[in-house]
Amino acid sequence: MPENAEHHDEDIAHEAETSQNDAPQNEEPTVEQLKAAERYAAEGLLNKDEIEELLAEEENAEEEPLEGFDNPLEALAADCQKLETEITELKDRVLRDAAEMQNLRRRTTKDVADARAFSIAGFARDMLAVSDNLRRTIDSVPEDDKGSEDMKNFLEGLEMTEREMLNGLEKHGVKKIVPLEEKFDPNFHQAMFELPNPDIPNNTIIQVVQDGYVIGNRVLRPAMVGVAKGGPKFVAPTSDPAPTSDANDAETDDAES
């Protein structure tokens, strides 16, 4: 073979090898691309060329920034801000629910305490009627008959029964109102009559016809009283003396509640 022909064959082989190396290598598709291709092929809507075009669009779309933001970092910051806002709203809602539960717990506790304190109101009122009858029996005995030993024992038994009954009621929150020489208060007293007396301040209680009682901070039975009329205006004491009646204590508790 001529030498020129041999060199010509070598040049052709070298050019073929060079062109093969310069040719772009096809990269293998990713798992996501294969899954998308299978989905498109299963639907039977796209041919091979259309599938490759859509795969290229999806790959480019992943690299593009979100709409309205210049780069993915800004989009991420916006998402973080949104999540922080939602967390703040949820915390506020939790705090509000906790406050409502606390208020509900307090109301329930108060209702239970009131139910325990005032559940015997009807029974206590009936027992006061019995105590009134005992006192009327004691007061109805003539002074001349109180000298005998038998009558003394009888009256002593009645008084002891009355004391035990009132002590038992007091253990359950029932207390007597002693309003004598105090200012008339319609919340705790019931005026039965008025007595003109210019020397006593107006609306001062000067006589108690029937004792009143309170249970807790509520009036179980108002005291029936007589009040003075025609005197000077009643002036409340400037100092804070010790309470002179259970009515004052009940009134203070009612004001605080």
Q: Which of these, 168, 170, 176, 140, lies nearest to 155 by C-alpha position?
A: 140
pLDDT confidence tier of residue 100, bands split at 50, 70 and 90? very high
Q: What confidence tens digit (pLDDT) does each residue in 5-56 have?
A: 455 455 555 554 554 444 444 456 665 666 666 665 655 555 667 667 766 6
The string of DSSP codes covering 145-175 is GGGSHHHHHHHHHHHHHHHHHHHHHHHTTEE
Q: Please say whether the beta carbons of 172 and 120 come within 8 A.
A: yes
Residue spans per domain, the chain: 65-119, 121-171, 175-256
For residue 100, the SS3 value is helix
pLDDT digits (tens, 9 = 90+) for 142-191: 888 777 888 888 889 989 998 998 898 888 889 888 888 888 999 999 99
Sheet (strand 218-221) strand order:
174-177, 212-215, 218-221
Q: Nearest to residue 213, comparing CAs of 119, 129, 114? A: 129
Cα–Cα distance for residue pair 14/23, rounded to 1 Å: 14
Question: Is-above-0.75 flag for pTM?
Answer: no
Q: According to CATH, what is the number of the domain 175-256?
A: 2.30.22.10
121 closest CA partner among 214, 189, 210: 214
Long-range contacts of 52-59 (CB under 8 A, 24+ apart): 55/29, 58/32, 58/33, 59/33
